[in-house]
């Protein structure tokens, strides 16, 4: 199919049809093996560009896959065969209003760029995925991303006040706005957050900002057993509210140590990275209390510091866990979460799955809210090991659901976790998802195959 009419309808340089260049837009970080080859890639620069693309696609029944920075971990922006990849990478404008403590942001802006723009006015945008330096705000909204600070400050949805969205018929609607309270009509803004580009294409976001974070005090604690570490997490979470409470297991610690040589304890079964950003005297007391709890629950070593650079080194070590583990082989990335009292059962259960399937599963976690990221490592040239890894991938999600948890806490369902969605939310909730999708996108033009099974939408 030719896309000459699309090229003619958009300003020069927006449309890419050169196969070698389009290859860069077929996958996100999940490396979906079923990625298709798009008809074209469009690098939009305005809401009007997006409207043109969506109308063109709707008239011809062509799939449109919205794409942010391509940092997704569940195949949410996997290219569809013969479809259009609608890249938002050039839509990067950020305007901060310090009086209302809001920012109007285009979806291609990186999370880090929004933080930097807010900081110029003494303000802060808290959501901070580990990939904050290279993930886009649009992508964060698509999956309702969280991050390391969400244990205290919440996730993306808590900071979105308004959206401009292009619907499947090409209309642009404005939802919400720079108001802290607004209950007029149904809360459609929240409907689009976490919808993974299946209901509309977000072209502008109004974000809530807060005063800048105080310099944190950092504590690092190692444990000889997973059980001791998760018991410490529960003790901390039940009595206080640190601004960060992160977990790394032994395979992760060793992968990070291989990459950094920063002197992490390779023999530790688990390591916690905890921060308090309370005023100095209160932070000192909170960290002292956390240190006591860690020691009471069998900590092998506890270290704390008020030095910002020293503390940040451990946070960076936690942030680089996925890239470090990626050096060990191909990955299947999980995003399961459970109620906090079940965290120990989840972590120990994942260890048993790894032993049973004879594969490495490195576990990192936003431990304070029960959201874990098991990283299944395998050799893609070893077909037997690859099959065992994929079996374990499903078993980890099944385990989380059995424990009252979820198949995804912040990475989204995408395409890779779609087979497990019905078993998790149930048939009635799945039917409600189908109805909403069909009401807003009856042709299934927007990101078909993500989250919902296209075949089920036709039945």
- Phi-psi bin for 170: left (phi > 0), alpha (psi -120 to 50), beta? left
Output the pLDDT for position 92: 98
Structure tokens at 322: 């996925």
Per-residue pLDDT, averaged over 8-31, amounts to 96
Backbone angles phi and psi of 216, in degrees to 5: -85, 155
**Whole-number Å distance between alpha carbons of 58 and 6:** 12
**Whole-number Å distance between alpha carbons of 170 and 409:** 31
Cβ-based neighbours of 304, under 8 Å, separated by 6 or more:
217, 218, 219, 220, 287, 291
User: From residue 43, how far is each of 8, 154, 275 by CA, in Å?
Assistant: 14, 31, 40
Per-residue pLDDT, averaged over 375-385, amounts to 97
**Whole-number Å distance between alpha carbons of 50 and 48:** 5
Pairing mode, strands 160-166 and 330-333? unpaired
For 200-212, b where at least 16 C-beta lie within 10 A, e where not — what string?
A: bbbbbbbbbbeee
Output the pLDDT for position 458: 75
**Whole-number Å distance between alpha carbons of 39 and 57:** 11
**Whole-number Å distance between alpha carbons of 142 and 75:** 12
Structure tokens at 254: 């060793």
Model confidence at 451, in pLDDT bands (50, 70, 90)?
A: very high
Task: Kindly report, residue by residue over 403-444, the tens digit of the pLDDT.
Answer: 999 999 999 999 999 999 999 999 999 999 999 999 999 999
Three-state secondary structure along 113-179? HHHHHHHCCCEECCCCCCCCCCCEHHHHHHHCCCCCCHHHHCCHHHHEEEEEEECCCCCEEEEECCC
Cβ-based neighbours of 170, under 8 Å, separated by 6 or more:
51, 52, 54, 55, 58
Residue 396 above 60 pLDDT?
A: yes
Task: Kindly report, residue by residue over 291-305, the tens digit of the pLDDT.
Answer: 999 999 999 999 999
Model confidence at 248, in pLDDT bands (50, 70, 90)?
A: very high
Per-residue pLDDT, averaged over 43-65, amounts to 97
Output the pLDDT for position 357: 98
Cβ-based neighbours of 335, under 8 Å, separated by 6 or more:
73, 74, 371, 372, 373, 407, 408, 409, 410, 411, 412, 417
Per-residue pLDDT, averaged over 44-66, amounts to 97
Output the pLDDT for position 411: 96
**Whole-number Å distance between alpha carbons of 123 and 113:** 13
Task: Kindly report, residue by residue over 320-377, the tens digit of the pLDDT.
Answer: 999 999 999 999 999 999 999 999 999 999 999 999 999 999 999 999 999 999 999 9
Model confidence at 180, in pLDDT bands (50, 70, 90)?
A: confident
Output the pLDDT for position 320: 94
Q: Give me the percent of the chain exceeding a pLDDT of 90.
A: 98
Task: Kindly report, residue by residue over 92-108, the tens digit of the pLDDT.
Answer: 999 999 999 999 999 99
Q: Give me the percent of the chain exceeding a pLDDT of 70.
A: 99
Task: Kindly report, residue by residue over 135-175, the tens digit of the pLDDT.
Answer: 999 999 999 999 999 999 999 999 999 999 999 999 999 99
Model confidence at 459, in pLDDT bands (50, 70, 90)?
A: low
């Amino acid at each position: 199919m030719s896309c000459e009419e699309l090229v003619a309808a958009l300003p020069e340089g927006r449309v890419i049809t050169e196969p070698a260049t389009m290859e860069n837009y077929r996958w996100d970080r999940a490396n979906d093996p079923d990625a298709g080859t798009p008809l074209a890639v469009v690098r939009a620069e305005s809401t009007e560009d997006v409207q043109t693309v969506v109308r063109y696609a709707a008239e011809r029944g062509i799939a449109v896959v919205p794409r942010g920075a391509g940092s997704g971990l569940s195949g949410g922006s996997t290219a569809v065969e013969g479809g259009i990849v609608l890249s938002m990478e050039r839509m990067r404008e950020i305007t901060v209003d310090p009086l209302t403590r809001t920012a109007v942001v285009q979806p291609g802006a990186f999370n880090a760029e929004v933080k930097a723009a807010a900081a110029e006015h003494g303000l802060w945008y808290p959501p901070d995925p580990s990939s904050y330096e290279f993930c886009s705000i649009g992508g964060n909204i698509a999956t309702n991303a969280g991050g390391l600070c969400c244990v205290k400050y919440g996730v993306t949805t808590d900071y979105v006040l308004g959206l401009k969205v292009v619907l499947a018929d090409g209309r642009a609607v404005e939802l919400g706005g720079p108001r802290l309270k607004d209950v007029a009509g149904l809360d459609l803004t929240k409907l689009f957050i976490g919808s993974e580009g299946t209901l509309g294409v977000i072209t502008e976001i109004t974000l809530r900002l807060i005063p800048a974070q105080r310099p944190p005090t950092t504590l690092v604690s190692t444990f000889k057993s997973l059980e001791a570490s998760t018991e410490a997490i529960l003790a901390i979470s039940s009595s206080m509210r640190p601004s960060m409470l992160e977990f790394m297991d032994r395979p992760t610690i060793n992968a990070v140590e291989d990459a950094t040589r920063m002197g992490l304890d390779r023999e530790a079964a688990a390591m916690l990275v905890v921060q308090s950003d309370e005023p100095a005297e209160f932070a000192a007391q909170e960290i002292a209390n956390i240190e006591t709890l860690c020691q009471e629950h069998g900590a092998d070593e506890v270290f704390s510091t008020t030095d910002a650079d020293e503390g940040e080194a451990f946070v960076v070590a936690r942030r680089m866990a996925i890239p470090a583990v990626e050096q060990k082989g191909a990955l299947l990335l999980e995003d399961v979460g459970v109620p906090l009292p079940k965290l120990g059962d989840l972590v120990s259960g994942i260890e048993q799955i790894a032993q049973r399937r004879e594969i490495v599963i490195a576990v990192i976690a936003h431990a304070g809210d029960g959201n874990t990221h098991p990283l299944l490592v395998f050799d893609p040239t070893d077909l037997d090991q690859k099959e065992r890894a994929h079996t374990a991938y499903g078993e980890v999600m099944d385990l989380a659901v059995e424990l009252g948890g979820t198949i995804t806490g912040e990475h989204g369902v995408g395409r890779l976790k779609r087979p497990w969605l019905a078993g998790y939310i149930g048939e009635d909730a799945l039917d409600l998802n189908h109805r909403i999708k069909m009401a807003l996108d009856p042709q299934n033009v927007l990101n078909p195959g993500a989250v919902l099974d296209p075949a089920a939408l036709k039945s």
